[in-house]
Amino acid sequence: MNAKNFYIVATAPNEPSLQVKISGPYLTRQAAQADLSAAIDEAMDIDPSAKQFDYSITKVESRKPGVIQHMAAHAC
C-alpha cells in the first residue's frame, strides 16, 4: 500500500474540521468513486446521523483503514 491513497471522507457540515475517513484506502480516485454510494449507505446503516454529513474523495497520507474496513476486520 502507498503512503498516500484515496479515502472517502465524511465532513460535518457545521464543523469542517471534523472529518472521518469512512472508507479506503483506494489506489485510484475511480475505485473510490465506484464505492462511494455503497460506503455512504453502510455509514448510514451504522449511524443514521451520517446522512447529515458531506462526503468527498480525498487523497491523504495514511496507512490506517477507514471506519467501515476497520469494523469489518473486527466483526464477530
pLDDT digits (tens, 9 = 90+) for 23-70: 999 999 999 999 999 999 999 998 898 899 999 999 988 777 777 776
| Domain interval for residue 18 | 4-73
The answer to whether the CB of 10 falls within 8 A of the CB of 19 is yes
Q: How many domains does the chain have?
A: 1
Q: What is the mean pLDDT of residues 15-24?
A: 90
What's the confidence (pLDDT) of residue 58? Answer: 93
What secondary structure does DSSP assign to 24-67, as a single string?
A: EEESSHHHHHHHHHHHHHHHHHH-GGGGGSEEEEEEEE--SPPH
Single pTM value for the model: 0.80
In the numeric block, the cell 474523495 is attached to 57
Report the C-alpha gap between 53 and 5 in whole angstroms: 21
